Amino acid sequence: MSKHASPTLPAPVLWTRGDMDRFFETLRKEGYQPVGPTLRDGAIVYDTLSSTRDLPVGWGDEQEPGAYRLRKRGDEALFGYVVGPQSWKQYLFPPRRKLWSADRAAGGLEFKPSAEAPPKYAFIGVRGCELHALQVQDKAFLEGPYADPYYRAVREGSLVVAVNCGTSAATCFCASMGTGPKVERGFDLALTELLDGGQRFVVEAGSARGAKFVDELSPQAAAPEDLAEAARVVERTAATLRRKVEPGGLRELLARNLEHPRWDEVASRCQTCANCTLVCPTCFCSTVEDVSDLTGEHAERWRRWDSCFTFDHSYLHGGAVRASAMSRYRQWLTHKFGTWHDQFGVSGCVGCGRCISWCPVGIDVTEELAAIRANDLGKDGEHAHP
């Protein structure tokens, strides 16, 4: 992570495909478990990687609201895809995790906290939007009086290998959220894959931990023309971004439009299925389930992902606070783009576009925000909601 950065980081170097293979071997020797992009079931998911051969070599993706398709690129690119249905949160904040168990013992209950030690991950291929998502989730899991020890252990033990995006999807809007496509900070190593004139990687260290790998592998320093080409890769990607969110005054815009008719319109399409929140790399809501077995001798408490789109999420004694689809969608969008600023001092959206692609009915947050802005109820709307 960036806090390990030292002022004397090595100059960027150039790796070949062979160096990438050696890098994976070094990771294993250093006790890291590489996790990153790989092909499964018609998508690029994140899973354990044993070598560069597990990467989606030569594969890219096409995304539209409610649609994702793999496509052959016609080259051997390792990072020629955009982002898929999963994010790094599945490693830091696992979908299900046992918190403790209890057994009946003489004189009462015997509690056993869940104390599994997480692996030392190497996150391979973290994009600009995703680096920002990690920093957004850090605020929820590491700051304040109740830090999450498991999250902290994974975060501090992991090596973050970022990648500058060489391509974008139609659903990306990172530039307007200020999160990409260039990776700026929060990485141990950052790669830029160059494909014109032979496959090679410009590698930059962002921390002392990352610098160690640059020094150990010690290939050639990157030439000025390679660095210039790496800069052009990101510029070209930025130029392809089609979607955007107008960021100015979003928080205030949403706060004064709580009674906007668009909420009812989007609710007529919304499935309240929770897909958007589960694919979102910053959504952090969970619930706990207490279970006991039939004998009544053994009980466990599990934490699992939850979503503000479920009825149970806002259930208090006697009923749910947000029973309607309208109130759930409004809660999510106004939190993500508005009240997140009040809570954490940043936007909850990093512009990765996952919620757009993986919504089964193609609801597009950028379109919803634009619709509200286009018909702003104005300052008076602020008083329409108690």
Q: Which residues bind another protein (CB under 8 A)?
A: 40-43, 45, 66-69, 85-86, 90, 95-96, 268-275, 278-279, 289-296, 298, 300, 304-305, 307, 310-312, 323-325, 357-362
Smaller CB separation from another protein, 315 or 344:
315
State the minimum distance, in angstroms, from the CB of residue 21 to another protein: 27
Helices 149-157 and 128-141 sit at what angle, rounded to 10 degrees? Answer: 140
Say how far apart CA 244 and CA 373 lie, in whole Å: 13
Q: Which is nearer to another protein, 300 or 382 (CB)?
A: 300
Check if the beta carbon of residue 150 is closer than 8 Å to that of residue 97.
Answer: yes
Return d(Cα 258, Cα 51) in angstroms, integer: 50
Phi, psi of 265 (to 5 degrees): -65, -45
The span from the CA of 243 to the CA of 245, in Å, is 7
Considering the complex, what minimum distance in angstroms separates the CB of residue 263 from another protein? 14
In the complex with another protein, the residue whose CB is nearer, 2 or 314, is: 314
Distance of closest approach, residue 352 Cβ to another protein, in angstroms: 15
CA distances, 307 to each of 35, 171, 256, 282, 349 (Å): 25, 22, 25, 12, 16
Residue 202, helix vs strand vs coil: strand
Of residues 278 and 333, the one with the C-beta less far from another protein: 278
Minimum distance from residue 361 beta carbon to another protein (Å): 5
- Least separation in angstroms between residue 273's CB and another protein is 4
Contact, 277 vs 283, CB < 8 A?
Answer: yes
Rank residues 33 and 90 by Cβ distance to another protein and give the closer one: 90
Residue placing its CB nearer to another protein in the complex, 286 or 339: 286
Residue 46 neighbours by CB under 8 Å, 6+ apart: 35, 36, 37, 38, 84, 86, 87, 88, 90, 91
* Cβ nearer to another protein, comparing 41 with 380: 41
| Dist. CA 230–CA 235, nearest whole Å | 9
Instruction: Work out the burial of residue 225: count CB atoms within 10 Å of its CB; fewer than 13 is exposed, 13-18 middle, 19 or more buried.
Output: exposed
Q: How far is the CB of 264 from another protein (least distance, A)?
A: 12
Contact 309, 328 (CB under 8 A): yes
Q: Please say which residue, 234 or 365, places its beta carbon nearer to another protein.
A: 365
Structure token pair of residue 289: 């389930």
Smallest distance from the beta carbon of 193 to another protein, in angstroms?
Answer: 24
- What's the min distance (Å) between Cβ of 271 and another protein? 4
